[in-house]
Amino acid sequence: MRLLVTGGAGFIGSCFVRRRLAATDDTIVVVDKLTYAGNRANLAACENDPALASRLEFVRGDICDGGLVRDLIAESDAVVNFAAESHVDRSIIDAEAFLRTGVIGVHVLLETIRSLADRRSIRFVQVSTDEVYGEVTDGLSGEDDPLRPRSPYASAKAAGELLVSAYHVTHGTDGVISRGSNTYGPYQHPEKVIPLFVTNALEDLPLPLYGDGRQQRDWLYVDDHADAVGHLLDHGRSGETYNVAGTGHLTNRDVAAAILERLDKPWSLVRSVPDRPGHDARYAMDGSKLAALGWQPTVSFESGLADTIDWFRANADWWRDAKSGEWADYYEDQYGWRLAESVEA
Ligand code: NAD
Ligand code: TDX
């Protein structure tokens, strides 16, 4: 297959590209805007390997750019859309880019596929998130549950999904939606909680735990997430949505404790800071629909976290680079006043 992978220089997209090139004969074109979160170095392992590099092309560009997107999709058998603004806290500070990429960008991709439909069918995989369900106080979210997004990020993701479903129903577009759980692993931007806590602990900086830290997430290792998206690309039923559940339901306190234990750092680094507004207390999904389609996650939280911590320890240049440039301003906005008001956790 010839794949167009949008957002393929980000955390999960680059993992998908690395694993897909190694496991198949597919050719991949990555289109990525290289926002603060995108990093060409995430693809270096492929670009520096001649056997893989011959099947990979990188294009810097925006999925909202209809002309560019049309040229790229015209040459593709399928589009896998990872491109998004992905950090909830940034969507609370300023949501505009989330809507531009998450709604208009998805529309540009779908409209382009529709306009090419008389030539051939092009599959579209929309990489979405458990956050579209909103907070789940108990039980597990099933694919038919109502969407109740509660952050601007989650609302933009829900809108993107709804467009994919609408194009499937109205125009017959071949679309599949994945709803992935909280993902962690190598190459994740240090704005997200696990790499933030790991890299701050490595530098003996405070770990800012929102509120009481009793919120829960179901953690999914990035290789598993990337493989699930590949499975849906190959086997997902058109018009369907699939949860991609993780392997570890943990509170944020437990996550912080596990990180500190492996790094042999004291709990006193953890500071309870004023909470994220609208903070979803819990996400948890039922992954049985995807299991029935033949895929389940394989990496336990213990082994995934160990590999992730080891990777960050060994790749300080990578995360120091991510914590440069606009990072200082972002960190000050997000955490300056919170840390000033922080208390013992
Ligand atoms: P990321 O922020 O690491 O990567 C996003 C990538 O998209 C970056 O490389 C960025 O440069 C690129 N991008 C942003 N706007 C673009 C645009 N307009 N045109 C082209 N490229 C653009 O995010 P991630 O964590 O890898 O998430 C990838 C996808 O998976 C997102 O759609 C996200 O909503 C979804 N998701 C993430 C998680 C998670 O826990 N990280 C969980 C479930 C779903
Ligand atoms: O400094 C922090 N302190 C803290 O306590 C940060 C950044 C987070 N947290 C908490 C908030 C959440 O309960 O940790 C938990 C995880 O936070 P994030 O890493 O920001 O992830 P989350 O908001 O759960 O969203 C993630 O999973 C779903 C991804 O960022 C999304 O892209 C994905 O869709």
Q: What's the rounded Cα separation, in Å, for the pair 239 and 246?
A: 23
Mean pLDDT over 10-38 rounds to 98
Q: Is 182 in the pocket of ligand 1 (CB under 6 A)?
A: yes
pLDDT for 106-117, tens place per residue?
Answer: 999 999 999 998
Closest CA to 106 of 89, 87, 85, 134: 85
CA of 295: how far to CAs of 22, 89, 178, 227, 289, in Å?
A: 19, 31, 12, 9, 9
pLDDT attached to residue 120? 79
Q: What is the pTM of this model?
A: 0.99
Q: Is 91 in the pocket of ligand 2 (CB under 6 A)?
A: no
Cβ atoms 121, 135 nearer than 8 A: no
Closest CA to 156 of 202, 110, 105: 105
Q: Is 90 in the pocket of ligand 1 (CB under 6 A)?
A: no
Q: Cα angle vertex 54, ends 112, 117, to 5°?
A: 20
The pick from 12, 106, 129, 301 for probing ligand 1's pocket by mutation, whose C-beta has the most ligand atoms within 8 angstroms, reads 12
CA trace torsion 65, 114, 293, 103 (10° rounding): 40
List 26, 131, 227, 280, catalytic entry: 131
- 131 is annotated as an active-site residue: yes
**b (16+ CB within 10 A) / e for 61-89:** bbbbeeebbeebbeebbbbbbbbbbbbbb
- 111 is annotated as an active-site residue: no
pLDDT for 34-85, tens place per residue?
Answer: 999 999 999 999 999 999 999 999 999 999 999 999 999 999 999 999 999 9
DSSP collapsed to 3 states, 119-175: CCCCEEEEEEEHHHHCCCCCCCECCCCCCCCCCHHHHHHHHHHHHHHHHHHHHCCCE
- 187 is annotated as an active-site residue: no
List 153, 167, 283, 335, catalytic entry: 153
Closest CA to 294 of 227, 219, 222, 223: 227
Q: Which atom of ligand 2 is nearest to the CA of 183?
A: 27
Distance 123 CA to ligand 2 centre (A): 30
Contacts of residue 319, defined as CB under 8 A and 6 or more positions apart, other chains included, come to 190, 195, 199, 312
Distance 86 CA to ligand 1 centre (A): 5
pLDDT for 243-299, tens place per residue?
Answer: 999 998 999 999 999 999 999 999 999 999 999 999 999 999 999 999 999 999 999
Distance 13 CA to ligand 1 centre (A): 7
Q: What's the rounded Cα separation, in Å, for the pair 338 and 225?
A: 32
Closest CA to 90 of 191, 11, 159: 191
